[in-house]
């Protein structure tokens, strides 16, 4: 595992998804209030960017804009069809105000 610096909380907008390309990884970063979630930016149904979808703040999920599958931001699990497999999820830690993502 290694740690990638993705910036500070204020770099991200509450309720929005943003794609980040870092160190060979394509990630989607979502901020909800003071929590930050990071998943692979690739729907598990087909190869499509989750960063293009809408964030459901109330349920802490993101919707794939292509066919509407919902994924739980806290662990990448699919919450609705047509997706049946999870999207990889990465832990985020705040270290001295910097957000660090643990990736393989
Ligand atoms: S590509 Fe995401 S639900 Fe089909």
Partners of 12 in the beta sheet? none
**pTM of the shown model:** 0.97
- Are the CB atoms for 93 and 102 separated by under 8 Å? yes
Task: Parse the chain into domains and list their residue ranges.
Answer: 2-103
Answer whether 62 contacts ligand 1 (Cβ < 6 A).
no
Q: For domain 2-103, give the fold.
A: Rieske Iron-sulfur Protein (2.102.10)
pLDDT per residue over 5-35, tens digit each? 999 999 999 999 999 999 999 999 999 999 9
With the most atoms of ligand 1 within 8 angstroms of its CB, the residue from 42, 45, 47 to mutate is 45
Three-class DSSP category at 97: coil
């Amino acid at each position: 595992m290694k740690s990638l610096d993705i910036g500070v909380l204020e770099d991200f907008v509450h309720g929005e998804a943003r794609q980040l390309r870092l160190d060979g990884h394509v990630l989607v970063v979502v901020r909800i209030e003071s929590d930050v979630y990071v998943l692979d930016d690739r729907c598990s149904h087909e190869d499509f960017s989750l960063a293009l979808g809408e964030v459901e703040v109330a349920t802490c999920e993101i919707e794939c804009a292509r066919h509407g599958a919902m994924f739980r931001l806290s662990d990448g699990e699919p919450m609705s069809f047509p997706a049946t497999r999870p999207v990889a999820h990465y832990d985020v830690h705040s270290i001295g105000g910097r957000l660090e993502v643990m990736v393989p």
